[in-house]
Structure 1
Amino acid sequence: MQNILDAIAAGDATTGDFASLTMPESYRGVTVHKDEVDMFEGLTAKEKDPRRSLHLDDVPLPELGPGEALVAVMASAINYNTVWTSIFEPVSTFGFLERYGRMSPLSKRHDLPYHVVGSDLSGVVLAVGPGVHLWEPGREVVAHCLSVELESPDGHGDTMLDPEQRIWGFETNFGGLAEVALVKANQLMPKPAHLTWEEAASPGLVNSTAYRQLVSRNGGDMKQGDNVLIWGASGGLGGFATQYALNGGATPVCVVSSPEKADICRSMGAELVIDRSEEDYRFWKDPHTQDPREWKRLGSKIRELTGGEDIDIVFEHPGRETFGASVYVTRKGGTITTCASTSGYMHEYDNRYLWMNLKRIISSHFANYRESFEANRLIAKGMIHPTLSRTYALEDVGQAALDVHHNLHQGKVGVLCLAPEEGLGVRDPEMREQHLTAINRFRGV
């Protein structure tokens, strides 16, 4: 592993130099264990502590198959799917690995008594399997988390519709919170040259998700002048949605939960901000009953900010807590795009406001390769910026996941894997200098 690090640090190692490196027999990876899936039985979700279930283990290097690549992971990031994996909710991810393992002899590698987690990375290609032509050892890359087989016709219009579509590091093994990761070659994209390893790793999952959900024709198909309601507008997903709305000529209406988060939105250029802590919206009277008066109060606040206009697109991801309000405040003929349910999966809304007003609910899940590539291209061009606020060591992933679980973080939380310290990996310092304020906008918040 040290030889690999030395070659990366040298900066002038050739493809041949990397190809001649001896691959390690094992590497360190953050795992959950199959024999511990019942460890939190009887506890509520918030009582479950990822520090107990996430382990840093030495694991064997997986066999490299056709169309695949092994990547030396310099940095990764925490996503909510790692929190779900660590608390074994809504289901244990070992069920995903078992089903994947039954698909083929090659996929059987993923069905193990441990699961190496993580759905983001930046790093360097170490080796590629048969049939890989566009990527060679030594290339600096980031990876998106879409894993597909494309043996069925269903996925050839939109790869997200492949019946064997999975999220790498969540529904597959050998993820990015590790020193080495196994990915399909069609997950790889060029690393933005002006970013550090940890900055480049952090946008992957959430940036691509926000792009599809809001910008793509598969999602909100946002246009200039749209009013876009963005829940959690300074968070991992919302921070990118806010940037896309501003870049695309739309007007973001940013919903946040503190004055500090409101300041972040304003620093990005958003002018219309709703601080939930100040307004004290209570959309639920009790765990079973919503309060439509609070929906109306939110709608009135939105019209006050927009000069009397309603919302064209709602960027939804909290789920149960906010969904009734989201459906209500959307304009006639408007769109609610939903990609997650961090506050609960069983959504409730008054269908009269949907059907009588011809509103649409569009489901959105991650992004296809083209959408992910476009989202990464905008990062590389300095048009969209990372939302990294803090970076942890690989040994501290449990604490990082706990912070995300309890919403103690801002933007994205990064993890150093092979990178010995922050600030490494910048190849275009001139471009970086032009965007330094935006790159560091979430830092220390």
Structure 2
Amino acid sequence: MSGDDSTIGRALGGLVDASAIERILISLAALGLSVVVGAVVVLISGWVLSPCPSAPFATLGGLGEFCYNPIEVYWVLLKGAFGSTFNLATTLQETTLLLFTGLSVAVAFRAGMFNIGTQGQLVLGALGTGLSVLWVAPVVPAGLVGGVVLVAVGLLVGAAVGGFWGAIPGALKAYADANEVITTIMLNFVATGIAFTLVSEVFKDPGSQTVQTRFVPEYAQLPALVLGIDGFSMLALVGGLALAGLVYWVLRGTSFGYDLRTSGVQPDAAEYGGVDAKKTMVSSMALSGALGGVGGAVYVLMVAGQWQSGIPSLGFDGITVSILAGNNPIGVVPAALLFGALKGGSLVIEFDLAVPQQLVGVLRGLVILFVAMPEFFRMAGIRYGYGDDEPAVATDGGTPREGGADDGGDSE
């Protein structure tokens, strides 16, 4: 076992060597603990607020009043996420978008790259999608066939634009040794500025006072189908789930994915084994950016129907989703659902209960923090050599030999 034999070392080693089932159980235990801690926070917050603006939840002698009922708060949170068709559609809409941004961040992280620029890749991908659909729409027939063509064009252009924007920090890292954290953060601002300027000066909807493009044709927007609620399409959700499976297969079942993963865990050993580290950096960031660009395309085709300023911070939320998932493409699915439910349910708490918005944010943050921390420490343990699993690198940089060790990122 690498590392030291201290209590901390043994704990980190145990997290690194934990099986998939053990990691799921740890995450569930962390989720339960976050609920308990959150309930205590709700009680204390209501006690500090007393006297209550409305009827108190409980009064305990000399302790004073408790204004908020933690059970009611969590029940409303759950009901707000799944309690009606509209609430379910809102949760699944957020989940669908976070699938793409979570996958984007996860791919880069698995390659040892920190892509903080998914938001910029999403913004430009969304703009490319909106403009390309508007340009192509006049030359395709209206209706189902034309809609399929326009959706395909929009998704491809969104992926291409996002991939190009993601490849830039990858190339800067590979050939100029520029820190990708700094460059991706800076490129977020550049992307937002470019998109805002292009739309406000060239492509602005002449009938609107806000900075936005014209709406894409209705037949080019993803249909609601099952739930019948505008803003969510089951097609997009199914496509996101299929993409998660495809990304998992690429990372686990192809030589490119193996090169990408080993470069992220042991770059020196991977390069010694024949992996082109510079090419891998650029291609992994391009793939990451393409996934972010697809997220932008889905935002335009499913939610907004146009490019508009003020796109939500889905790219930054994708970082949280990826960390919650342990950078596992399959794990991104439940992580995105959890995050989507928290965002959807917290909106209802603010409307239905007299609970401050800041307290709702604390409850969301506690869930994310408790669930993410075991995986964070596990990633730290892998980075600093704890645990028994050592990544194997094939001498030709290709698929590892049968029975070889893995990188520890997706223990089964």
Same fold at TM > 0.5: no
Structure with a larger share of its residues in helix? 2
* TM-score category of the 2 structures, normalised to the smaller one: under 0.3
How does the TM-score come out when normalised to structure 2? Answer: 0.26
Structure with a larger share of its residues in strand? 1
Structure having greater relative contact order (Cα 8 Å, sep ≥ 6): 2
The structure with more radius of gyration: 2
